[in-house]
Structure formats: C-alpha cells, structure tokens
Structure 1
Amino acid sequence: MNTATDEEANIELGDRPSCESKRQRAGIEHIGAFGMRTGDSDLIFFQGILPEINGDVRGDEPADAQVSMCLDRLELMLENRNVTLADLLKVEVRLTDVDALETVDRVYRERFENVEFPPRSVVGVCTLPGGAAIEIDVVAAEE
C-alpha cells in the first residue's frame, strides 16, 4: 500500500496552521452560546473568556493588558460561583501570536503567585473573536 506524502499530493500548508472560520470573520456578535456549567456535577466550565469590558473586546490593547483583562474577568466569574483560582483544574489559553507566550507567562505567574498552577494548555490560533490576542477556557471544581 503506497501512501502519498504531502509533497506528492500537492498539499499546500500555507503560512497559517488553519483558516478563519465564517464565525471568526463575522465578528463577536456570532461567537456562539458559550456555556458556563453542564450537568449536576461539581465542575464549572467557563468558555470563551476574552479581554472585554462591557461587551467590547479590547483587541487593540497590548498583550499583557489583554491577559490581565481575561484573568480579571475569570476571577469575577469564579467569585460569583464562590470559588477561586485555587479551585481551577485545567486552563486552556488560545493565542493569535505564540511569541506573546512570555508575556502571558509573566502575567500568569503574577496572578497565580500564591496559588498552585493548574494544568495548562496553550494553543496557537489564526484569529479570535473581536480581534482579541488571547482567549481562555477553564474548568474549576466547587468543593
């Protein structure tokens, strides 16, 4: 059985790991219904946390400010559920510029200074809603 390589199959990967979806091109008014909790478990899911203030995504702010805004929003969401950063089980960070990871790490360390780091994944993406440079999803546990 012969398997064609990418070169033999004339597959062009381009400069980006993926293409924008229609939802991404259409702006934040089409970002979907991100859930905050599913089922009757003690797990809480926060999805699509963007650097926004009063519904306005601040994609033009520097990376450190965007990370801080996302973490500020996350802490408010956690507080509303009577949990804290110490209750996080998993964090996923999506970045449009993976070179900003050092900045993300610096702000992250400052915010989690007295808290054990939860497991974290960082994923590079082409674009995010509203032109944001960062988006965060987390799973937390109500104890």
Structure 2
Amino acid sequence: MSRETIHTDKAPQAIGTYSQAVRTGNTVYLSGQIPLDPASMALVEGDMEAQIRRVFDNLAAVCEAAGGGLQQIAKLNVFLTDLAHFPLVNQVMADYFSEPYPARAAIGVASLPKGAAVEMDAVLVLD
C-alpha cells in the first residue's frame, strides 16, 4: 500500500523529523498538534481554552488537507500536563464534534514540546 504525506500551511509546520500526517489507503495518521499559531509558529496567547481550541483548529486544518474533517476522526489522543483541564477538553470538544464521538484517550504527561499544556494526535478514516 502506498503512503502519501499530507501537508498544509494552515497548520503549524513540523518542528522535527515528522510529517503533519501520513495517509495509507483510507486511513490518515495525524501527528500531534500543540497550540502553535501556524503563521507565527509561537504558542497562542490566552487561557487553556484558547490553547485547546487552537489544537482542534490545527487538527481540523490537517484533516481538511487530507480530504476529510474532524467528524471522521476515529481515534483521538489527548495529552495534558495537568489532568485538571480534562473537563475543559470535554466542554470545548463538544463545540467541534457531534455524536458519534471518536474513541479517545486522555493521558497526563510531565511536559510537552515548547512548554505547551496540551497536545493531541488522531487517526482519521476517510469515507
């Protein structure tokens, strides 16, 4: 099966040796997104909600570049430096997703790239 690299300027550029996403067949593996502004490549300013929204916006841009959308995410992984923010993730996620919701894991981590408080990656299945 062939692999296709997905790239968009509407999401932050990779800050390491990885692609924004890779498509194999109808499955797209999205790399982790932190709350970087794609234009400035700096962490967004604002509270935790602003950071979570920026991550979802970044994921949405990569999904769109792959020919899909957030609603086609089958699996979402959420990494938080403070699990106390998990209820806020649920609240904000309700603005971006509708049922049926993707499978999901929430993992508490000690730190994330660039000092971010949240990172998410996903598996997208195209119709």
The TM-score, its normalising length taken from structure 2, stands at 0.79
Amino acid corresponding to residue 80 of structure 1 in structure 2: A
State percent identity of aligned pairs: 27
Q: What RMSD, in angstroms, separates the aligned Cα atoms of the two structures?
A: 1.8
Does residue 109 of structure 1 match 2:103? no
State the Cα deviation string for residues 99-130 of structure 1 (Å, max 9, x = none). Answer: 01111110011211x34210000000011111
Distance across 1 between alignment mates of 2:28 and 2:99? 19
Partner of 1:57: 43
Larger radius of gyration: 1
How far apart are residue 41 of structure 1 and its match?
A: 2.2
Paired positions, count: 111
How far apart are residue 86 of structure 1 and its match?
A: 1.8
Partner of 2:122: 138
Distance across 1 between alignment mates of 2:46 and 2:106? 20
Please list every run of 5 or more consecutive structure 2 residues that lacks an aligned counterpart in the other structure.
Answer: 1-14
Check conservation: 2:32, 2:122, Cα contact below 8 A.
no
Distance across 1 between alignment mates of 2:95 and 2:72? 17
Check conservation: 1:92, 1:120, Cα contact below 8 A.
yes
Distance across 1 between alignment mates of 2:34 and 2:57? 10
Amino acid corresponding to residue 116 of structure 1 in structure 2: P
Does residue 66 of structure 1 match 2:38? no
Distance across 2 between alignment mates of 1:132 and 1:57? 7
Partner of 2:113: 129
Distance across 1 between alignment mates of 2:52 and 2:66? 21
Does residue 75 of structure 1 match 2:60? yes
